[in-house]
Amino acid sequence: MPKLTIDKREIEVAAGTKVIVAAERLGIVIPRFCYHPALGSVGACRACAVAFLEGPVKGIQMSCMVNAMDGMVVSTTDPEAVDFRRHVIEWLMLHHPHDCPVCDEGGHCLLQDTTIAGGHGLRRYKGTKRTHRDQYLGPLVQHEMNRCIQCYRCARYYQEYTGYRDLGVMGIGSRVYFGRSVPGQLESPFAGNLIDICPTGVYTDKPSRYMGRRWDFQRAPSVCLHCSLGCNVTVSARYRQVVRLEARYNREVNGYFICDRGRYGYAYTNAPDRPRQALAAGRITAMDEAVEHGRSRLRETMARSGSQSVAVIASSRSSLETLATVKQVCRLHPWRGPAVTQTRREAANLQTAVAQLKPEFAVSLGAITAADQVVVLGADPLNESPMLALSLRQAQRQGGQVTVIDPRPVSLPLPFDHQAVHPSRLPAVMDRIITLLGHRLKSTAPPATAIAEPDMAWAEALVRQLAASRRAVIVCGTDITTPDEIGMAAAMAKALRQLDTEAKLFYTLMGANAFTAALTESPDPSIESILEQIESGSVRALLVVEQDLWQCYPDRVRLQAALDRLDLLIVMDHVASPILDRADCVIPTQTLYEAGGHWINQEGRLQNAQAVLKAGEPIAISGQGNHPPRHLSPRISGTEAMTARAAITALVRPEDRPQAEEFDRAMEAAVDAFHPVIISLDPRHIGRQVDSDAVGGTNPVSQTSSRAAAADAGRDTITLLMVDWTLGTEALSSQAVALTESEQNPAARMHPRELEAMGLAHGQTIAITTDKGRIALPLLADDRMAGGVLLIPRHHQLDWQVLGATRLEMDRDRISAGT
């Protein structure tokens, strides 16, 4: 461990630490532009120059380029170094437009701070400024090239870190230009990070342009809701609306970055059609009246049909507090539910994943970057959990190998092996890999390929790689898969452990708080089973808490029929949905940004989101375009919205005092009583992994289901998979206008062989008809995917729910040319 002296203070740092980092440890922040911890050192900007007075390196050197070594004596205040840094800032400012007053970066600009700190106050350069043309880079990122100081962070981030090529550096000398060869939308779904990484205002947040300065905003730490990874964000709000999200550093989760779905998905919280008024029997009422209406109707139903005639549906986007309350309410009455997952398959997948994820196997998103072998099973990282793709890229850049076994045309910004395996064959393929690993352990020769697989040589090669690896990670999705594969992913990790590989397991789940949902659900979970109970008449009243059934339930025909049978439908939510029109009682709730709360990500990490702003209609809406608003009223629409937790409590609180007191105690204890794995929401437990060993051994894996499906998957049938896309499918973020401008239009995909056999053409519109319904959409040929599979995105522009299932075996004649 080298020991060095910086500004007369000694510090010991790990070998390989750069001097700039060692100084930071002492609280000395040396100016820097090109250096960024995620991108490393390149020595381009020369702003971090310091004087090396003694030791193995002498003279003025860049502190980002020199490793700390024993005996170094470093001065950051050496007159020559200070004068050089002052010159560097003067050089950087030669062509800068000094447009801070109209620049969105102003106030939190590294260039602004460094210029002022460096003492460059007077302009000496008398020459003209070189200017550039800005480019249109899409609806998310605003380009203002004249502000550029050529630190190369953007080009390095975009090309090296994220692996996309459509933005980079062009030209030489003082004419270097950072942008695209032609103006156009940025291709990377991680492009929003350019805004965070740019040390000045070349890339700024387009949707929040001119909305305010950093100090104008209400800002608070939060988490992202748009997939299960739980990336950390900082939320900015102003005038009762969320205006901007930024990545919040968390070494274990998202590092310095987030994806664009997470960055811009917040728009639902400001949406003009967001439910802000309570409704009772279709009529706008005050909140307490609506609650009272719901209470009395609930009591009627219970009096008539018993408490078991009431069912509760919640969602995996709600906070732990909400889910704990829902669970407690169901337990007290007792009511049916809560159900969180849509279908039995989703429920079984979730329960299996959470039960299998033992703490010693869990690995964080951040730690995946250190893996030397990653096998991705039944998961499409870029589309399902975008930041996972970025972690995989870092693993690959550090020498790791990535293998994806998935029927979809998986695309990742990195070199990887893809085995497009039909979903029905996934268990057999995994079984084969586990068997081969077992034989490696026993050093026996594996039996001949047991499955009808023309070429399984790749599996043997993969097993050889895995057996030789030191840190392998098995990634497994829970969307298109079945409990079989999810259980086998764990078995694969266990088999690797026996081969002395530090194997880890990484499941992606469906929804931000899916892990908590797994701890919430009743023994017979899933919305599907609740609907069955409605159909059988045993459930007469339904309480839906923050679950957009219209958008998310995969069988809309059945859903509508079931809802029609109900005596009572109470909906609590903050997202507009046609379901609200059917409800007897609508109680608006607060969003994450207003209520805060706790979320557990797919790895079992308990995380806290703070409330950022108070609920209420944004001034932009209530002011009807006037600023300041001229519509004066003592009442602000939407401020009555309660947290879901408070709304449920109000709805079911008994009236007579002794009972009410007991009820209050029970509700206060809801979080403590929620589940043994949640010790407490004490800040000391935030960010730590919950002890999922205590989740229990319930393993609802059905060993036969998909095997039977495999047998069914003959030549005549095709497997329909409804899949996630990076943009356009996730229910909340697909409401964001900025993102809908960026998303691709929905299209089905099949292997070109299938198209040929069925006489269909690439680009042609096809109609798909199931027992439930029919949709039409364009069809694309994609030779990177498995044969025998039809992929349809769960796209918000598409009524995919009418087909009735997210994974379905169907006859090929159900697909036809048509509109």
Task: Quote the least distance from Cβ 46 to other proteins, whole Å.
Answer: 5
Pick 172 or 452: Cβ nearer other proteins: 172
124 binds other proteins (CB under 8 A): yes
Quick check: 3 and 9 in contact, CB under 8 A? no
Q: How far apart are CA 440 and CA 446, in angstroms?
A: 8
What is the three-class DSSP state of 466?
Answer: helix
Amino acid symbol at 256: Y
What's the gap between Cα 665 and its chain centre?
35
Which is nearer to other proteins, 152 or 507 (by Cβ)?
152
- Interface stretch with other proteins, choices 118-126, 666-674, 679-687, 692-700 (CB under 8 A): 118-126
Q: How far apart are CA 614 and CA 575, in angstroms?
A: 17
Least separation in angstroms between residue 95's CB and other proteins is 8
Region 332-351 residues binding other proteins, contact defined as CB under 8 A: none
Q: Which stretch binds other proteins (CB under 8 A): 123-131, 272-280, 296-304, 699-707?
A: 123-131
Contact of 354 with 334, CB cutoff 8 Å:
no
Instruction: Work out how close the CB of 180 gets to other proteins at its nearest, in angstroms, rounded to a whole number.
Output: 16
Among 713, 710, 709, 716, smallest CA distance to 815 is for 716
From candidates 8, 79, 122, 126, binder to other proteins by CB under 8 A: 126
What is the DSSP track for 655-717?
A: SSHHHHHHHHHHHHTHHHHH-TT-----GGGTTSBP-GGGG-S-----SSHHHHHHHH--SSE
- C-beta closer to other proteins: residue 92 or 670: 92
Task: List own/partner pairs for 277-282 with CB under 8 A and 24 or more apart.
Answer: 277/586, 277/588, 277/637, 277/638, 278/585, 278/586, 278/587, 278/588, 278/640, 279/580, 279/583, 279/585, 279/586, 280/584, 280/585, 281/584, 281/585, 282/581
The nearer residue to other proteins, 127 or 628, going by C-beta atoms, is 127
Of the pair 9, 165, the CB lying nearest other proteins is at 165
Among the residue ranges 145-153, 565-573, 671-679, 748-756, the one whose residues contact other proteins (CB under 8 A): 145-153
Dihedral of the CA atoms 560, 564, 565, 566 (nearest 10)?
A: 100
Q: Is the dihedral of CA 288, 290, 295, 300 positive or negative?
A: positive
Q: Which is nearer to other proteins, 82 or 802 (CB)?
A: 82
Q: Which is nearer to other proteins, 124 or 665 (CB)?
A: 124
Number of residues that bind other proteins (CB under 8 A): 31
Least separation in angstroms between CB 91 and other proteins: 4
Residue closer to other proteins by CB (options 154, 280) is 154
Question: Residue 92 or 350: which CB sits closer to other proteins?
Answer: 92
- Taking the complex as a whole, the smallest distance from the CB of residue 19 to other proteins amounts, in Å, to 15
For other proteins, the binding residues in 34-93 under the rule CB under 8 A are: 43-47, 49, 60, 65, 83-84, 87-88, 91-92
Smallest gap from residue 49 Cβ to other proteins (A) = 6
For other proteins, which residue of 16, 27, 121, 127 counts as binding (CB under 8 A)?
127
- From 101-109, 126-134, 241-249, 504-512, span contacting other proteins (CB under 8 A): 126-134
Give me Rg for the CA atoms of the chain.
28
Phi-psi domain of 789 (left: phi exceeds 0; alpha: psi -120 through 50; beta: other): beta
Q: Which is nearer to other proteins, 45 or 456 (CB)?
A: 45
Nearest approach, Cβ of residue 128 and other proteins (Å): 9
Query: What does 740-760 look like in DSSP terms, one character per residue?
Result: HHHSPPP-EEE-HHHHHHHT-
Q: How far is the CB of 192 from other proteins (least distance, A)?
A: 25
The least CB distance from residue 176 to other proteins, in Å, is 4
Exposed/middle/buried for 545, CB within 10 Å: 0-12, 13-18, 19+? buried
Query: Where in 534-613 does DSSP place strands (E)?
Result: 541-545, 568-573, 585-588, 597-600, 606-609
Which residue's CB is nearer to other proteins, number 66 or number 791? 66
Minimal distance, residue 143 CB to other proteins, in Å: 18
Q: Which residues contact 600 (CB under 8 A, 6 or more apart)?
A: 230, 320, 513, 515, 516, 606, 607, 690
Q: How far is the CB of 186 from other proteins (least distance, A)?
A: 20
Region of 122-130, 136-144, 262-270, 384-392 interacting with other proteins (CB under 8 A)? 122-130
DSSP per residue, 47-93: TTEEEEEESSS-EEEETTTSB--TT-EEESS-HHHHHHHHHHHHHHH
Of 173, 527, 538, the C-alpha closest to 339 is 527
What minimum distance in Å lies between the beta carbon of 153 and other proteins? 13
Which residues from 161-180 bind other proteins, rule CB under 8 A?
169, 171-176
> Could you tell me the smallest distance in angstroms from the CB atom of residue 219 to other proteins?
32
In whole angstroms, the minimum distance from the beta carbon of 152 to other proteins comes to: 8
User: Pick from 152, 157, 256, 416: which binds other proteins (CB under 8 A)?
Assistant: 152
**In a 3-state reduction of DSSP, which class is residue 120?**
coil
Euclidean distance between the first and the last CA atom of the chain, given in angstroms as a whole number: 70
The string of DSSP letters for 351-366 reads HHHHHH--GGGB--TT
684 forms part of the interface with other proteins (CB under 8 A): no
What is the spatial distance between Cα 695 and Cα 690, in angstroms, rounded to a whole number? Answer: 9
Comparing CB distances to other proteins, the nearer of 87 and 333 is 87
For position 132 contacting other proteins by CB under 8 A, the verdict is: no
- Of 126 and 630, which CB lies nearer to other proteins in the complex structure? 126
* 121 belongs to the binding site for other proteins (CB under 8 A): no
* Least gap, CB of 151 to other proteins (angstroms): 9
Q: Minimum Å distance from CB 187 to other proteins?
A: 20
Residues in the chain: 819
Pairing relation of β-strands 310-313 and 336-339? Answer: parallel
Interface residue with other proteins, options 94, 110, 557, 758 (CB under 8 A) = 94
125 binds other proteins (CB under 8 A): yes
Do 540 and 305 touch, CB atoms closer than 8 A? yes
CB distance 526 to 343 below 8 Å: yes
Judge contact between 509 and 350, C-beta under 8 A: yes
With CB under 8 A as the contact rule, which of the stretches 148-156, 237-245, 690-698, 736-744 interacts with other proteins?
Answer: 148-156
Which x/- pattern over 176-205 shows residues binding other proteins (rule: CB under 8 A)? x-----------------------------
Residues 19 and 63: beta-carbon distance below 8 Å: yes
**Residues 453-482 contacting other proteins, CB under 8 A:** none
3-state secondary structure of 476: strand
Cβ atoms 473, 505 nearer than 8 A: yes
Nearer to other proteins, 60 or 650 (CB): 60
The strand pairing partners of 542, in sequence order, are 311, 569
Q: Please say which residue, 65 or 666, places its beta carbon nearer to other proteins.
A: 65
Which is closer to other proteins, CB of 66 or CB of 340? 66
Shorter beta-carbon distance to other proteins: residue 170 or 284: 170
Min CB(165)–other proteins separation in Å: 12
Name the site residues for other proteins (rule: CB under 8 A). 43-47, 49, 60, 65, 83-84, 87-88, 91-92, 94-95, 124-127, 130, 149-150, 152, 169, 171-176
